[in-house]
Chains A and B, each alone.
Chain A
Amino acid sequence: MKKAFFPPLLLAGVLLLFGSTTSPCGYAIGDRADDFSLKSVSTKMVSLADYKDVRGYILIFTCNHCPYAQLYEQRIIDLHNKYSPKGFPVVAINPNSPLIVEEDSFEEMQIRAAAQKYPFDYLFDEEQTVYPKFGATRTPHVFLLDRDLYIRYIGAIDDNPETPRSAKNRWVEKAVEAMLKGEKPNPDYTRAVGCTVKKKPEVKPAPVPVQKADTVPMVGGQRP
Chain B
Amino acid sequence: MIAIRQSRLLFFLIVLVCCMSNYSTSAQSFTVYDSMPQLESRIENAKDTTLVINFWATWCKPCIEELPCFEELRERYAGQNVLVILVSLDFKSQLEKKFIPFLKERQFKSEVALLADQDANTWIPKISAEWDGAIPATVIIKGQQRKFNLGKFENYTELESFVRPFLADVSALKDMSEYPCLTGK
Q: Who on chain A is nearest to B55 by CB?
A: A193
* A206 engages B133 (CB within 8 Å): no
Tell yes or no: A111 within 8 A of B by CB.
no
* A196 engages B150 (CB within 8 Å): yes
Tell yes or no: A208 within 8 A of B by CB.
yes
* B134 engages A137 (CB within 8 Å): yes
Beyond A19-B149, A224-B61, is A194–B157 a contact (Cβ under 8 Å)? no
Q: Who on chain B is nearest to A209 by CB?
A: B173
Q: Interface residue count for B (Cβ, 8 Å)? A: 43
Q: Which of the listed residues B65, B121, B147, B162 has the most CB atoms from chain A within 10 Å of its own CB?
A: B121
Tell yes or no: B155 within 8 A of A by CB.
yes
Tell yes or no: A30 within 8 A of B by CB.
no
Q: How far, in whole Å, are A202 and B178 apart by their CA atoms in the complex?
A: 16
Chain A residues whose C-beta falls within 8 Å of the C-beta of B161 in the assembled complex: 15, 19, 207-208
Chain A residues whose C-beta falls within 8 Å of the C-beta of B61 in the assembled complex: 101, 224
Chain A residues whose C-beta falls within 8 Å of the C-beta of B125 in the assembled complex: 191
Chain A residues whose C-beta falls within 8 Å of the C-beta of B121 in the assembled complex: 155-156, 159, 169, 190-192
Beyond A19-B162, A137-B150, is A192–B178 a contact (Cβ under 8 Å)? no
* B175 engages A193 (CB within 8 Å): no
Beyond A21-B153, A217-B154, is A192–B120 a contact (Cβ under 8 Å)? yes
* A192 engages B173 (CB within 8 Å): no
Q: How far, in whole Å, are A190 and B147 apart by their CA atoms in the complex?
A: 22
Nearest CB of chain B from residue A153's CB, rounded to whole Å? 13
Tell yes or no: B46 within 8 A of A by CB.
no
Chain A residues whose C-beta falls within 8 Å of the C-beta of B62 in the assembled complex: 196, 198
* B177 engages A159 (CB within 8 Å): no
* A210 engages B177 (CB within 8 Å): yes
Chain A residues whose C-beta falls within 8 Å of the C-beta of B178 in the assembled complex: 215, 218
Q: Who on chain A is nearest to B147 by CB?
A: A19
* B134 engages A218 (CB within 8 Å): no
Nearest CB of chain B from residue A102's CB, rounded to whole Å? 11
CB-defined interface of A181-224 with B at 8 Å, one 1/0 digit per residue?
A: 00000000011111111100000001110110001111101101
Q: Who on chain B is nearest to A221 by CB?
A: B180
A206 contact from B130, B135, B157, B179, Cβ within 8 A: B157
Tell yes or no: A152 within 8 A of B by CB.
no
Nearest CB of chain A from residue B159's CB, rounded to whole Å? 9
Tell yes or no: A37 within 8 A of B by CB.
no
Tell yes or no: A24 within 8 A of B by CB.
yes
Nearest CB of chain B from residue A199's CB, rounded to whole Å? 8
Nearest CB of chain B from residue A137's CB, rounded to whole Å? 5
Nearest CB of chain B from residue A196's CB, rounded to whole Å? 4
Q: How far, in whole Å, are A3 and B158 apart by their CA atoms in the complex?
A: 25
User: Chain B: residues with CB nearer than 8 A to chain A?
Assistant: 59-62, 65, 89, 91, 93, 118-121, 124-125, 130-136, 147-155, 157-158, 161-162, 165, 173, 175, 177-180, 182-183
Q: A19-B162, A23-B130, A211-B175 are in contact. List 5 more A-B contacts (CB 8 A).
A: A169-B121, A193-B134, A193-B135, A198-B62, A218-B179
Q: 3 nearest interchain CB pairs?
A: A138-B134, A21-B151, A191-B124
User: Chain A: residues with CB nearer than 8 A to chain B?
Assistant: 15, 18-24, 67, 101, 137-138, 141, 155-156, 159-160, 162, 169, 190-198, 206-208, 210-211, 215-219, 221-222, 224
| Contact sample, A vs B, 18 pairs, CB 8 Å cutoff | A19-B162, A20-B149, A21-B149, A23-B150, A24-B132, A137-B132, A137-B150, A169-B121, A190-B121, A193-B135, A194-B133, A194-B135, A196-B152, A207-B158, A218-B179, A222-B182, A222-B183, A224-B65
